[in-house]
A and B are shown apart, each in its own frame.
Chain A
Amino acid sequence: MSFKQPSILPGFGLTFGFTTAFLSTIVLLPLAALVAAGTSMHWSDFLHVVASPRALGSYRLSFGASLLAASINVVFGFIIAWTLVRYEFPGRKIIDALIDMPFALPTAVSGIALTTVFAQNGWIGRYLEPLGVKVAYTWLGVTLALTLISMPFAVRAVQPALLEVQRELEDAAETLGAGRFYVFRRIILPTVLPALLTGFTLAFARAVGEYGSVIFIAGNIPMKTEITPLLIVIHLEEFDYHGAAALGLVMLAISFVVLLAINLLQAWGRRRHVRAAR
Chain B
Amino acid sequence: MAGSASGALAAADRNRPGQHTWMHSIVRWLFIGVSLTFLAAVLLAPLATVFAMALAKGVPAYLHTFADPDTTAAIRLTLITALIVVPVNTVFGLAAAWAIAKFEFRGKSVLITLIDLPLAVSPVISGMVFVLLFGMHGWFGVWLQEHDLSIVFALPGIVLATMFVTFPYVARELIPLMQQLGNDEEEAAITLGAGGWMTFFRVTLPKVRWGLVYGMVLCNARAMGEFGAVSVVSGHIRGLTNTMPLHIEILYNEYNFVGAFAVASLLTLLACLTLIVKTLVERTGYRRR
Contact = CB atoms under 8 A, between A and B. Distances in A.
A152 B240 CA distance: 35
A104 B244 CA distance: 15
B216 to A, nearest CB: 13
A101 B98 contact: no
Interface string A1-15: 101110111111011
A10 B42 contact: no
A113 B46 contact: yes
Contact of B275 (A34, A104, A212): A104
A11 B100 CA distance: 11
B271 A4 contact: no
Contact of B121 (A244, A245, A252): A252
B107 to A, nearest CB: 8
Given A76-B38, A148-B42, A86 B271 contact: no
A31 interface: yes
Given A106-B224, A109-B268, A211-B227, A27 B117 contact: yes
Nearest to A13: B99
A110 B228 CA distance: 13
A5 B103 contact: yes
A218 interface: no
B123 A211 contact: yes
A148 B129 CA distance: 27
Identify the interface centre among B46, B50, B199: most chain A CB within 10 Å of its CB: B46
A156 B190 CA distance: 39
Interface string A219-254: 000000000011011001001010011001001100
B102 A9 contact: yes
Contact of B102 (A7, A18, A98, A116): A7
A79 interface: yes
Given A23-B96, A89-B32, 19 more contacts: A9-B186, A16-B99, A27-B164, A29-B133, A80-B39, A95-B36, A100-B275, A106-B267, A108-B246, A108-B248, A109-B245, A124-B45, A160-B1, A160-B2, A163-B5, A163-B6, A163-B9, A232-B125, A236-B131
A255 interface: yes
B252 A216 contact: yes
A170 to B, nearest CB: 10
Interface string A77-103: 001101111111100110111111111
B279 interface: yes
A10 B190 contact: yes
B7 A245 contact: no
Contacts of B10: 85-88, 92
Given A15-B96, A113-B264, A241 B31 contact: no
B65 to A, nearest CB: 14
Chain A to chain B: the 3 pairs with minimum beta-carbon distance, closest first? A106-B225, A209-B122, A30-B129
B6 A107 contact: no
B80 interface: no
Contacts of B128: 34, 232, 236, 244-245, 248
Instruction: Classify chain B's interface size.
Output: 35 or more
Interface in B115-141: 115, 117-118, 120-125, 128-133, 135-139
Nearest to A249: B125
Given A18-B92, A109-B248, A113-B46, A37 B132 contact: yes
Contact of A241 (B23, B44, B105, B132): B132
A73 B163 CA distance: 29
B258 interface: no
Interface in A110-137: 110, 112-114, 116-117, 122-124
Contacts of B27: 180
A263 B42 CA distance: 30
A7 B7 CA distance: 42
Contacts of B44: 98
A159 B1 contact: yes
A147 interface: yes
B147 interface: no
A28 interface: yes
B34 to A, nearest CB: 5
Contact of A112 (B28, B129, B252): B252
Interface string B83-120: 00000000010011011101111100001011101101
